[in-house]
Amino acid sequence: MLAELVGVPVAAITFSHESFMQSQGFRGQIKEGTERLKIPFLDLNPALAATGLGRGLWVYPTDQHPNEIAHKIAAQEIETFLKREKLLSSSDQTK
């Protein structure tokens, strides 16, 4: 993989609307592909669903883009994931 040759860490993260990901089967395809390529993968949907907020994570009732609450959850999950997978250099660590 090119990223390995040049020493650049790579990961895949999904941050999409739950019904879109399920109806299209994308989550499984992404997970399968990342496992096959040995790329660390984070699916944010379980963390977002665990809040029980549903549409309360939308920017507006008719706009499914994630709002500030969803972005805060995503940022925390991504930081934990990157640290766990050791994808941050020591200069990237802020905590």
Taking a C-beta distance cutoff of 8 angstroms, is the pair 11, 38 a contact? no
Share of the chain above pLDDT 90, in %: 44
Q: What is the β-pairing status of strands 41-43 and 12-14?
A: parallel
Residue of higher predicted confidence among 81 and 1: 81
Rounded to the nearest 5°, which phi and psi values hold at 17? Answer: -65, 135
Q: Which candidate, 85, 68, 91, places its Cα nearest to that of 11?
A: 85
Mean pLDDT, rounded, for 16-44: 79
Terminal-to-terminal C-alpha distance of the chain = 31
Q: What is the CA radius of gyration of the chain?
A: 15
Q: Is residue 39 over pLDDT 90?
A: yes
With bands split at pLDDT 50, 70 and 90, how would you rate the model's confidence at 17? Answer: low
User: Looking at residue 94, what is its pLDDT?
Assistant: 58
